Amino acid sequence: MIGLGEHAEFIIAAYAGIAMGLALVIGWTLAAARSTRRRLAELDTRDRSDRA
Partner 1 sequence: MSIETAPKISWWNRLAHPGQFVALTRPLVWPLAALTAVLFAAGLWFAFFNSPADYQMGDTVRIMYVHVPTAWLSQFVYATMAVSALGTLIWRHPMADVSMKSAAPLGAAFTAMALFTGSMWGRPTWGTFWEWDGRMTSTLVLLFIYLGIVALWRAFDDQLRAARVVAIFTLVGAVNIPIIKFSVDWWSTLHQPASVFTPEGPKMPGSILTPLFIMFFAFTFLFLVLQLVAMHTEVRRRRIATLERRMARGSAA
Residues that bind partner 1 (CB under 8 A): 1-8, 10-11, 13-15, 17-18, 21-22, 24-26, 28-30, 32-33, 36-37, 39-40, 43-44, 46-47, 50
Report yes or no: 32 and 39 within 8 Å, Cβ to Cβ.
no
Residue 33 CA to residue 6 CA, distance in Å, equals: 43
- By C-beta, is 21 or 52 nearer to partner 1? 21
* Residues 6 or more apart in contact with residue 12 via CB below 8 angstroms: 4
CB of 31 to partner 1, least distance (A): 10
Instruction: Report, in Å, the least distance between residue 52 CB and partner 1.
Output: 13
